[in-house]
Amino acid sequence: MRLDRFFSEQTALSRKEAAALIRSGAVTVNGVQLRKPDAAIQPGTDAVTLRGKPVVYQKFRYILLHKPTGVITASRDKSQKTVLDLLRPEDRFAGLTPAGRLDKDTSGLLLITDDGQLTHKMLSPKSHAPKYYLAALRDPFTKQIQSAFRDGILLREGDTEEPCLPAESEAIAERLAVVELHEGKYHQVRRMFAAAGNFVEQLLRIQIGCVPLPPDLPAGSYLHILDKDANNMLMKSHISEVCEFARCYYSSYWIKSGK
C-alpha cells in the first residue's frame, strides 16, 4: 500500500495532507524517515509513526456512541445535528456510518463503523442484532402488556395492522421495563406501548447483543472498541441478565439525569 494512502485511510487526513506531511519528514517506517508519498509499506507489519506517535493499522473502525436525545442518526444533514457531528475531527474517518438507527428522541447505545459486512449482519432479518431498551412509562407495566408483546402486538402500518415479531419484556420497577427487539420499525417501542394503552416517557437503548452501554459513558461521548467486541453485538443475551444490569446501573440515576 502507498504510504499516503495508508495515512488517508488510518487518519482523518486527506491524501494531499498526508503527502505534505510525508514530504516534510514527519513520518517514519520501521524507524527510518521516509519522504516519498508513494513509498510502499505493509500495513499491519511495518511500524509507522507520525511526528513520533505510532499509527496502528486497523482494517475497520468501531465506535461505541452514547447517543443523546435531539441528535439524528444520519451521516449528514443540512439542518440538524447528526451522530457523526459528535465525533472529534481526528475520528471522522471516511466511510463511517451508523449501523442502524436510533430515533431522535431516544438515547443510548449506537455503533458507528466502516465495516459494511457487520452493518449488513446487524440489520439483516436473518441475523438482526437483538436490541434491548429501558422504557420509563406513564402507567405501570402489566402482565397483559408482557403477553401482548410476546404474542406479537399489532401496529398500524398505513391502512392495515401488522404484527410485530414476538418481543420479550420484563419489569424492573413499577413503571420501568426492559424490552427486547429483533426488528427495527419506526418508533417501534413507543408505538408498541401506545398500542397496549401505555405511554413511554423516556427511552434508552442499554444493550445491543451482548454489548451493554457503559454506565460511566456520558451521553454524547464515545469509545473505540475492537472488532471482536463489535461482533458480540450479534450475540443474544437473556433478558433476565439485561434486566439485572439495568437494575444495577440505570434504574435510578438515568431517570434523575433525564438521559
DSSP characters for 154-201? EEEETTEEEEPPP--EEEEETTEEEEEESS--TTHHHHHHHHTT--EE
pLDDT in tens, 102-142: 999 999 999 999 999 999 999 888 878 899 999 999 999 99
Same domain as 152, residue 40: no
The pLDDT > 90 percentage for the chain reads 78
- The Cα 124–Cα 61 span in angstroms is 20
Same domain as 86, residue 14: no
CATH number of the domain within which 123 lies: 3.30.2350.10
* Residue 253 confidence (pLDDT): 63
Residues paired with 211 in a beta bridge:
208
Task: Name the 3-class secondary structure at 26.
Answer: coil
Same domain as 208, residue 146: yes
What are the residues whose beta carbons fall under 8 Å from the beta carbon of 235, sequence distance 6 or more? Answer: 209, 210
CA 90: distance to chain centroid?
A: 19
CATH number of the domain within which 41 lies: 3.10.290.10
Q: Which residues are catalytic?
A: 103
Same domain as 214, residue 189: yes
* Residue 259 confidence (pLDDT): 47
Instruction: Give the domain range for residue 122.
Output: 62-257
Is the CB of residue 211 less than 8 Å from the CB of residue 186?
no
Structural domains of the chain, count: 2
Same domain as 140, residue 14: no
Same domain as 224, residue 193: yes
Same domain as 159, residue 75: yes
Q: Which three cell numbers stand for residue 110?
A: 449506537
Same domain as 206, residue 110: yes
Same domain as 128, residue 31: no
- The string over 120-138, giving b where at least 16 C-beta atoms fall within 10 Å of a residue's C-beta and e elsewhere, is ebbeeeeebbbbbbbbbbe
Q: State the CB neighbour count (10 A cutoff) for residue 72.
A: 17
Q: Quote the pTM value.
A: 0.84
pLDDT bin (cut points 50, 70, 90) of residue 255 is low
Same domain as 71, residue 40: no
CA 236: distance to chain centroid?
A: 16
Judged against a pLDDT cut of 80, whether residue 81 lies above it is answered with yes
Q: Which of 153, 135, 145 is nearest to 203 (CA)?
A: 135
Q: Which of 12, 30, 54 is the last residue of a domain?
A: 54
pLDDT in tens, 143-168: 999 999 999 999 988 889 999 999 99
Complete DSSP assignment for 64-120 = EEEEPTT-BSSS--SSS-BGGGGS-GGG--TT-EESS---TT-EEEEEEES-HHHHH
Is the CB of residue 62 less than 8 Å from the CB of residue 224?
yes
